[in-house]
Amino acid sequence: MEFHNETSTNPSKETTGFRWVLTSEERSNIAKILEIEEDSISHVKGNVMCRERMQCGGCGKLSGLDDLVHNAVTARVHSRDFILEVMAGGPQTRVYAHKMQCSNCSQGYEGVFINWGGYME
């Protein structure tokens, strides 16, 4: 499985985070979850998180943006339209810590995840 996990500093927010570069598998999963064409999110290259990707203890999948999207949709926390707006323009409000479950097997990842730097284009 291809994945990237790079350290990044965001000088505009004076925060350091981890760049989760979007994989083709994650992009495909997000498109299925949001019921859209993959081309609709071709501009999204990844996101900056507060921690490194984690491996799911249930199925071995690495945490990714597809898990965040899956969790938001299944918990009915955000609409599909809102998620697409955020992916296009970055977080609209204060960013909160989220617990996250694997989108593949539903097992919870340890700790919390925070999207610090918006999305990479």
Q: What is the pTM of this model?
A: 0.76
Pick from 87, 88, 17: nearest CA to 53: 17
Between CA 16 and CA 79 the distance in angstroms is 29
Per DSSP, the residues of 5-45 read: EEEEEETTTTEEEEEEEPPHHHHHHHHHHHT--GGGGTT--
Mean of the per-residue pLDDT values of the chain: 78
In this predicted structure, what is the pLDDT of residue 91? 64
Confidence of residue 10 (pLDDT cuts 50, 70, 90): very low
Confidence of residue 5 (pLDDT cuts 50, 70, 90): very low
- The token duo for 79 is 């609409």
Whether the predicted pLDDT of 95 surpasses 80? no
Confidence of residue 121 (pLDDT cuts 50, 70, 90): very low
State the distance between the two ends of the chain, measured CA to CA, in whole angstroms: 22
